[in-house]
Amino acid sequence: MPLVSATATGPAAPAEEQNKNGPTSDSPPGNGNGRWALVLMGGGARALAHIGVLEALLDNDLVPPIITGTSMGAIIGGLFAAGYLPPELEKLGRQLSYSRLASLRKSRIPIPDKLVDYLMLESYQKRLLRRIGIKKGDLLEERLREMVGDVLIEELPLRFGCNAVDLVSGQEVNFTTGLLHQALRASMAFPFVIEPARFSGRLLVDGGLLNNCPVRLARAMGASRVFVPDVHRPLKKMPIAHFDSAFIMVHRLVQVVLADSTESKLPEADLIININPNVDTFDFTRIRRVVNLGKKITLENIEAIKELARGPAG
Distance CA(218)–CA(224), nearest Å, equals 9
User: Quick check: helix, strand or coil at residue 271?
Assistant: strand
Please list the residues that pair with 173 across neighbouring strands. 164
CA angle 193, 14, 139 (to 5 degrees): 30
Supply the residues annotated as catalytic: 71, 206
Please list the residues that pair with 120 across neighbouring strands. none
Confidence of residue 136 (pLDDT cuts 50, 70, 90): low
- Of 112, 108, 97, 111, which is closest to residue 47 (Cα–Cα)? 97
Query: Going by C-beta distance under 8 Å and a sequence separation of 6 or more, which residues neighbour residue 298?
Result: 52, 53, 56, 57, 229, 273, 275, 305
Least confident of 10-14, 16-20, 192-196, 212-216: 16-20
273 burial via Cβ count (<10 Å: 0-12, 13-18, 19+): buried
pLDDT digits (tens, 9 = 90+) for 33-86: 469 999 999 998 899 999 999 999 999 999 999 999 999 999 999 999 999 999
Q: Are 199 and 10 spatial neighbours (Cβ–Cβ below 8 Å)?
A: yes
Confidence of residue 297 (pLDDT cuts 50, 70, 90): very high
Least confident of 128-132, 294-298, 301-305: 128-132
- Name the residue type at position 112: P
* pLDDT at 9 (0 to 100): 33
Of 101-105, 129-133, 202-206, which one has max mean pLDDT? 202-206
Q: What are phi and psi of 117, to 5 degrees?
A: -65, -40
* pLDDT at 127 (0 to 100): 53
Alpha helices in 149-286 (DSSP H): 180-187, 215-220, 246-263
